[in-house]
Amino acid sequence: MIKELLGHAHIGVTATVYAHILLRLQRDAIDLLGNALRDPAEITDEPDDGDDQPPCAALVC
């Protein structure tokens, strides 16, 4: 759809130009979901660098 709206002749042009934007939007969506599921007491104004280990729901032995 984007290819058609922008008038690109080939999908490769659209994918090359806009792929990084789609990845950023995916990361933003993941961050929003993570914040929605996080304990409000843990939320800070500092950006998440992605280096923290994900929380574990249960110990697996």
Confidence at residue 50, expressed as pLDDT on a 0 to 100 scale:
64
Rounded CA gap, 41 and 28, in Å?
A: 21
CA 61, CA 7: separation in Å to the nearest integer?
55
Q: Which amino acid is at 57?
A: A
Write down the pLDDT at residue 43: 62
Encode pLDDT of 11-36 as tens digits.
888 888 777 777 788 888 888 888 88
